[in-house]
Structure 1
Amino acid sequence: PVDTLSLSLTSLTASPGETICLPVTASGFEKILSMQYTMVWDPAVLRLNGIDKFGLRGLGENNFGTHMAGEGKLTFSWYDPNLRGESRKDGSVIYELCFEVVGPNDTSTGVHFANQPTIIEISNALGKFLVLNATDGHVKVEGKG
């Protein structure tokens, strides 16, 4: 059987000018040693406002490459500093992405786990590479702004 790690984002509706936060939750997070990937979204709809609620040992703002956030890309790379592998209960928040809604009403964007420019790679303490089972988020803009 192929080992998988599930990472999920929520979907929601927001008003122009509102600040929203999308938690990244995990399922199957067993002895994860390292992971990396890219998050992408439409920068005409959302502007990255911050990263918060870090839920892993050694995880912080320095694990995120924000230099392309204006283009709607956020790179991510993390490894367990103890090199033993981290485990978390299903549904645990790994981190949270916060955005300012900059798009007008009747616009929307997905917030996707992507393979470009940082490739998707997840490994565990047993030396296995895992497949990412991603549930992308979606933000629809409507309401007062």
Structure 2
Amino acid sequence: MLQGTNLASRSGAGDDSRYIRPQNEQHFVGILSDALQKNGLPASATHAIMDTSRSGIFGLRSSWDDWCNINGAGFAIRPTSQTNNERLDAFVWVKHPGESDGPSDSAESEYDVFCGKEDAVKLSPGVGLWHQDYFEMLVRNADPSL
């Protein structure tokens, strides 16, 4: 099985799809690519890459737009150009594993309300700082496992 089929097969009720029409990132790439081509861009210009550094577990977010240090997240497909999808050029880990999205303490100057939401890891450090507990969680919850 090529990498990519595992992620593609996860488009069910538990994949955060209840919030948006595209259902998941692979569906979004198809919708966006079709829209770009419909508006005049050639097919060769409508490819994408997908960040799988934190998408190993679906159904964790209270809302689709929750993004900060999501509790329960795990690494997904390792970086590769083997996507099994003609519109996806590569799976990549854009976000550095273990890097915090931001502090969960509202008294911090970099605080963003999304980092204090129910589905965000609490006791998170500032933006870009090393977050050992989060890194360990990403490793524990990796799918496929590391």
What is the TM-score when the length of structure 2 is the normalising length?
0.25
Higher relative contact order, chain-length normalized (CA < 8 Å, sep 6+) = 1
More strand by share: 1
TM normalised by structure 1 equals: 0.25
